[in-house]
Amino acid sequence: MTMKIFLIFLSCFTLCCFAKQRSTLHINVTEGAGRKIPDTFFGAFFEEINHAGAGGLWAELVRNRGFEEGGSSVPSNIFPWAMVGDDSTIQISTDRSSCFDRNKVALRMDVLCDGPKSCPPDGVGISNPGFWGMNIEKTHKYKVVFFAKASGVVDLRVSFVGSDNTELASNSITSVGHNVTEWTRMETVLEAKATNHNASLQITTSKKGVLWLDQVSAMPLDTFKGHGFRKDLAQRVAALKPKFFRFPGGCYVEGGYMRNAFRWKDSVGAWEERPGHFGDVWSYWTDDGFGYFEGLQEALDGLEFAKGSAKSKWGSLRASMGHPDPFDLRIVAIGNEECAMSKYRRNYLKFYDAIKQAYPDIEIISNCDASQKPLDHPADFYDFHIYTNANDMFSKHTKFDDAPRYGPKAFVSEYAVWQSDAGNGTLLAAVAEAAFLIGLEKNSDVVHMVSYAPLFVNKNDRRWTPDAIVFDSHQSYGTPSYWIQHLFSTSSGATLLDSTLESTSDYIVASAIEYRNPSEKKMYLRIKVVNFDSDPHRFRFSISGVDSKVKAYGATRTVITGPNVKEENSFSEPNRIVPQHSSLKNASSDMTLMLPPYSLTSLDLFI
Ligand SMILES: *[C@@H]1O[C@H](CO)[C@@H](O)[C@H](O)[C@H]1NC(C)=O
Ligand SMILES: *[C@@H]1O[C@H](CO)[C@@H](O)[C@H](O)[C@H]1NC(C)=O
Ligand SMILES: *[C@@H]1O[C@H](CO)[C@@H](O)[C@H](O)[C@H]1NC(C)=O
Ligand SMILES: *[C@@H]1O[C@H](CO)[C@@H](O)[C@H](O)[C@H]1NC(C)=O
Ligand SMILES: *[C@@H]1O[C@H](CO)[C@@H](O)[C@H](O)[C@H]1NC(C)=O
């Protein structure tokens, strides 16, 4: 139903060549008239927000796997773990008896019932629903690992149970004939015989005695390239062909208070020894002894971890985790959004000097805006963030037209239309962002990197809206803003062609690039044009320099638009606003076509 209306709507503006407003884009394809767009132009910005990582991209199913979510004190907050059984059959508590020094809290179960006669049929124990339900799929395999200690023999049942209480998979782990009085690693692989998107992991027993558990993990065996990333979400990011990855985030890195700042050293090495990166990343406990010296040393050690040789102190830790080769880390941002703070510049310079001295090839990002006037301190890049309404975002397509052409380059590391114009991700927001991106493309002599923010949201815990990719335990979709980025992914490393727009309207923004499709090895000329008006628009393009080169066949038109600017995608209609492809018949170097209201049109011509 919706689809039909949509198609009629589109073809109406395609066929009836009536519109008051008109524009012509003159494109000069003469060799040498264009300019290369940086190879690293479009990237992705990953921050642990909205459960982007924990309960998102990272495929771990168990939430609060170390029972440490409330901090290192006991009794600890064991949420969302729940007891299986009742007070007469089992008692649950926490103590500090774990074998892991950096996360001492362990779960203690005092099993009061004994044997199948006095225990419930499935035994007693604990259950974990993961991040708003675990996605368990038929025939898929899951590796469950945990550490246990007991007063005697261990006889456990490990199972996945659906929200309707059906058993999806189950294995038993027993220590036949010997007491597990020391902490012991236990592992089993479960294969699901049915699918449930809202399942729980249960560890139960019918054996009387005391049992301790710690560091319980359940991972699907089938993850993106075996890297432990949830496949569907990783594929959505890969489809954007990001040329850089900003990590580990913005405000998350620093925390509201220093004690909650991201400590990379606590997030590397054997997972079971990491103190607290599970569960709620915004309330995990770290000590208060973090001062300036530790900060600088922390940064240098972090660089050694990424870039140092496998023989260096931190590089060897990386190697022990299975990555002996250095990572291709090239750029470091010092701070996030605190240029206005009195101590920023002074501290910035200390970091800048120390990093440049140790790693002269590392480039450094300042978060002071240099788009108006030059910086008073050295930097290779300056960070530019913008969250605004749709009209303002559209108007910002000229933002960098008069930025200084020398000095540090811009890294637009966070941009998005937000608040009422954006809802949870509207067409209106996306079209305004498309105009902004065309402006950045045209200014790519001074803007070298661009990423949308935030990338992900788990719909069960929206901390920030809108976001590019929305997901729950088992499904995901891209917002219209995601699809705009998708359409711009060919721009990294392309040639920006020399073009001039003549227009009767202020609501048209256009650019032309030449790019090679790596899989087909063919050269394309791509014209992108935004119509930010509520009326259709008559658009002509005229290519000079190589008229004869435009091939009549094989050209395509891709349009992102919809019947209503406030349209959004959703789990029930994930493809309401997505690129619509059609062939562009009889392509030539001089053509006129109609642009629908509030749309991004992309024309791919063969040359
Ligand atoms: C196209 O670019 C070439 C090379 O820069 C230049 O010589 C020529 O004048 C341009 N043509 C037009 C129509 O601007
Ligand atoms: C998942 O199951 C829990 C109970 O186990 C229930 O409270 C919750 O509403 C369910 N979620 C969905 C999305 O069905
Ligand atoms: C296990 O411990 C119990 C006491 O808790 C003891 O009676 C038993 O002999 C031990 N078994 C083994 C195999 O060590
Ligand atoms: C955005 O999503 C939340 C739930 O995830 C919902 O409560 C809210 O109404 C949505 N906003 C809009 C504008 O649709
Ligand atoms: C394409 O060109 C052919 C031959 O010139 C013509 O018959 C046909 O109508 C044209 N198609 C369109 C869609 O303009």
Residues counted in the chain: 607
**Which pLDDT does position 347 carry in this prediction?**
86
Looking from the CA of residue 465, the nearest atom of ligand 4 is 1
Given 3.20.20.80, 3.10.290.10, 1.20.200.10, 1.10.150.120, which CATH number is that of 44-56+225-250+291-491? 3.20.20.80
Which ligand 2 atom sits nearest the alpha carbon of residue 472? 13
For residue 133, give the ligand 2 atom closest to its CA.
1
Return all residues near 476 (Cβ < 8 A) that are at least 6 apart. Answer: 232, 233, 236, 469, 470
Task: Report, as an integer, the average pLDDT of 86-113.
Answer: 94
Token pair 């979709």 is found at 477
Residue 7: predicted pLDDT? 38
Residue type, 215: Q
The yes-or-no verdict on residue 523 having pLDDT over 70 is yes
Taking the CB of residue 39, how many other CB atoms lie within 10 A of it?
11
- The top-scoring range by mean pLDDT among 153-157, 176-180, 257-261, 313-317 is 153-157
Q: Ligand 1 mean position to 30 CA, how many Å?
A: 6
Going from N- to C-terminal start, the domains of the chain cover 2-34+497-606, 44-56+225-250+291-491, 82-220
**pLDDT band at residue 276 using 50, 70 and 90 as cut-offs:** low
Q: 160-207 pLDDT, tens per residue?
A: 999 999 999 999 999 988 999 999 999 999 999 999 999 999 999 999
179, 182, 207, 210, best to mutate for ligand 3 pocket (most atoms within 8 Å of CB)? 179
CATH class of 82-220: mainly beta
pLDDT, tens only, 528-539? 999 999 999 999
In ligand 4, the atom with minimum distance to the C-alpha of 423 is 13
Residue 269: the pLDDT is 60
Pocket probe for ligand 4: among 50, 421, 424, the residue whose CB has the most ligand atoms within 8 Å is: 424
Which structure tokens are listed for 259? 């004690």
Atom 9 in ligand 5: which residue has the minimum CA distance? 586
Domains 2-34+497-606 and 44-56+225-250+291-491 share a fold: no
* Binding pocket residue ranges, ligand 3, CB within 6 Å: 151-152, 177-179
Cα of 23 vs centre of ligand 5, distance in Å, is 23
Residue 1 has pLDDT above 50, yes or no: no
State yes or no: pLDDT of 294 exceeds 50: no
Atom of ligand 3 nearest to the CA of 209: 5
Q: What is the per-residue pLDDT for 11?
A: 41
Predicted local distance difference test score (pLDDT) of residue 265: 61
Q: Which CATH superfamily includes the segment(s) 2-34+497-606?
A: Golgi alpha-mannosidase II (2.60.40.1180)
Distance 151 CA to ligand 3 centre (A): 9
Which residue from 394, 510, 503, 387 is spatially nearest to 452, judged by alpha carbons?
Answer: 387
pLDDT for the residue 18? 59
448 closest CA partner among 483, 415, 493, 417: 493
CA–CA separation, 599 vs 176, rounded Å? 67
Environment class of residue 202 by beta-carbon count within 10 Å: exposed (0-12), middle (13-18) or buried (19+)?
A: buried
> For residue 462, which atom of ligand 4 is closest to its CA?
5
Whose C-alpha lies nearest to ligand 2, atom 2? 163
Task: Give the distance (Å) from ligand 3 centre to CA of residue 186.
Answer: 20
How close is the Cα of 33 to the center of ligand 1, in Å? Answer: 6
* Ligand 4 center–CA 424 separation, angstroms: 6
Q: Ligand 3: which residue has its CA nearest to atom 2? A: 152
Give the tens place of pLDDT for each residue, 559-590. Answer: 999 999 999 999 999 999 999 999 999 999 99
What are the b/e assignments for 450-477, b being 16+ CB within 10 Å?
Answer: bbbbbbbbbbeeeebbbbbbbbbbbebb
As a whole number, mean pLDDT of residues 133-154 equals 97
- Model confidence band, residue 318 (pLDDT cutoffs 50, 70, 90): confident
In this prediction, residue 77 carries a pLDDT of 84
What's the pLDDT band for 291 if we cut at 50, 70, 90? Answer: very low
Please tell me the distance between residue 586's alpha carbon and the centre of ligand 5 in angstroms: 6
Closest CA to 422 of 446, 399, 454, 400: 454
Q: Three-class SS of residue 43?
A: coil
**Residue with CA closest to ligand 2 atom 14:** 198
Query: How many A from CA of 558 to the centre of ligand 1?
Result: 28
Best mutation site among 584, 585, 588, 592 for ligand 5 pocket (most ligand atoms within 8 Å of CB): 585
Least confidently predicted of 177-181, 289-293, 344-348, 426-430: 289-293
State the pLDDT confidence band at 8, using cuts at 50, 70 and 90: very low
pLDDT recorded at residue 315: 83
| Closest ligand 4 atom to 424 CA | 1
268 pLDDT higher than 70: no
Question: Which ligand 1 atom sits closest to the C-alpha of 28?
Answer: 1
Residue 390 Cα to ligand 1 midpoint, Å, equals 35
**CA atoms within 13 A of residue 195's CA, in its CB half-sphere:** 7
Measured from the alpha carbon of residue 179, the closest ligand is 3
Ligand at minimal distance from the CA of 130 is 2
Given a cut of 60, whether residue 264 has pLDDT beyond it is no
pLDDT at 234 over 50: yes
Q: Does any ligand 2 atom lie closer than 6 A to the CB of residue 475?
A: no
pLDDT score of 556 more than 80: yes
Cβ contacts of residue 344 below 8 Å, gap of 6+?
Answer: 335, 338, 367, 368
Q: Are 251 and 81 in contact (CB under 8 A)?
A: no
| Ligand 2, atom 1: closest residue by C-alpha | 198
Distance from the alpha carbon of residue 129 to the mean position of ligand 2, in angstroms: 9
Mean pLDDT of 490-497: 95
10 Å CB burial of residue 272 (0-12, 13-18, 19+) is buried
585: Cβ below 6 Å to ligand 5? yes
Ligand nearest to the CA of 463: 4
Nearest residue CA, atom 8 of ligand 5?
Answer: 586
What is the residue-averaged pLDDT of the chain?
87
- Closest ligand 1 atom to residue 26 Cα is 13
Q: What atom in ligand 3 is closest to the CA of residue 153?
A: 1
Rounded average pLDDT over 54-62 = 90
67: closest CA among 288, 256, 285? 285
342 pLDDT higher than 60: yes
- CA torsion through residues 411, 414, 420, 424, sign: positive
Q: What is the mean pLDDT of residues 353-369?
A: 90
Evaluate whether 464 touches 49 at the Cβ level (below 8 Å): yes
Asked if residue 544 has its Cβ within 6 Å of ligand 1, the reply is yes
For residue 284, pLDDT beyond 50 = no
Q: Which residues line ligand 4 (CB under 6 A)?
A: 423-424, 459, 462
* Ligand 2 neighbourhood includes 133 CB (under 6 angstroms): yes
Closest ligand to the CA of 33: 1
Ligand nearest to the CA of 588: 5
**Distance, CA 607 to ligand 1 centroid (Å)?**
18
Strands 556-560 and 599-606: antiparallel
**Ligand 3: residue whose CA is nearest its atom 7:** 152
